[in-house]
Amino acid sequence: MTDNNIVNLPTPMNVLADRIRGALASVQRGHIETIEGMLELAVALKEARDCFSDNRQFSIWLAENELDAEFIGHNNRAALINMAGDIALARIVLAETRRTSPELIWREEMQPRLTSACKNELSSTSPPETPEIAPNSPAESQPPVPETTESKPDDHKLGAAELRRSRSPLSKLPNADLVLAHVLRGDTRATLGKVASTKKGRALWNLLIECIHNGAFGPPSNTSIGTPNLRILFPWMQPKDRWVSGFDLTKPNDIQKVREFILPVVLVTEDRSALAINTIRREVERRQLQKDEQVRQELAHQRHQQKVAADLPDGQEEVIAYGTPLWPSERSYSYEELVHACWFADFMFDILRADTSTARSMNLLHALKFLEPPMISAGTLLAIRDIAAAYVRAPQQASKWPPKPSRFFLSA
């Protein structure tokens, strides 16, 4: 048997439907899977469209197989079928882009390349589904198709979608097409519209656009969101998580927390599963505590410098232990008690054996159990504990010890 006798049978329609479902599932996962899933989705949609003589029959088949989801609605479906005309270029564009909307990827990145390379190439590589081309996509090389070729059921569906978009309070905002291509569900758009259409809500709108551009938002989402919590920006987060739902993005303070702490953590977190929320929350809390401690230390340093500038009494001088100012102090120990504490801690750190600063400080604090008052004053004990805490925080930081007393530790 020769190759000329081999007949290439068309792929069964149920197999095509399964391929489209599988591609849609992979589009929801990681970046590499998203690229392969979108290419498979484009090829499967084009192959399925080629099996029908017109868009009406194709639309009915999609509806019967429950494949008329909003992600592969009118504009995205047209873009994917167009992208299938040049899979090699589509793979390059998908690997380079930060966009997740097929409509925008086709219109803004892939079609201009095809047009600039050869204006006639688009007509030769585009699929026959001319009526499925997105309204904003130029189609100079394709002849107009009479409106009667579109089915009435499809026209009604698409018309309603366009009508909802035109009436949406979001449609007049900057980058509305980008947001509407990612926020697909009507009630979620309504929730967003109540906030973003106000003057105070522009901060949320701008942050949402930033999240879409940098990929933190994820792929286009059909998630229902009734309150402006974290899921407005990250719809893949868990809906019943108290930490997620506890944010109110109508409040400037919560917007600032997202921009300063949550968004940077999300961008470096690859896992988008339910367990990832706990990891993200712990890292955000760690960064917040770190920032709070930094602010606290800066304020303490400012107060310390003001007191030093005001001149100290005779016989006293500035004391710093491992980068932490200890005198002038607001603590309940005297200068003399702090002096003895500094030299006692310095002596003990030299003789204690431990591998880490934390272990060495713990050994020092353990030794204090045998030196309780009246053997040593309560103020000196408190000062030693402050020195140990400073040593744990920054053991490499410089210290400024007071002069060693002539009768060291006898009057402690």
Q: What pLDDT score was predicted for residue 57? A: 81
Q: How far apart are the first and last CA of the chain?
A: 105
Q: What pLDDT score was predicted for residue 5? A: 52
Q: Full-prediction pTM beyond 0.75?
A: no
Residue ranges of the chain whose pLDDT lies below 50: 1-2, 7, 30-31, 120-126, 128-166, 410-412
Using omega within 30 degrees of 0 as the cis cutoff, is the peptide bond preceding 235 cis? Answer: no
Q: What pLDDT score was predicted for residue 156? A: 40
Q: What pLDDT score was predicted for residue 262? A: 93
Q: What pLDDT score was predicted for residue 233? A: 93
Q: What pLDDT score was predicted for residue 10? A: 61
Using omega within 30 degrees of 0 as the cis cutoff, is the peptide bond preceding 374 cis? Answer: yes
Give the number of residues written for the chain. 412
DSSP 326: E
Nearest Cα to 137, choosing from 187, 194, 79, 185? 79
What's the token pair of residue 41? 């989705």
Q: What pLDDT score was predicted for residue 286? A: 92
What's the token pair of residue 397? 């930081």
Q: What pLDDT score was predicted for residue 119? A: 53
What's the token pair of residue 299? 């304020």
Q: What pLDDT score was predicted for residue 400? A: 87
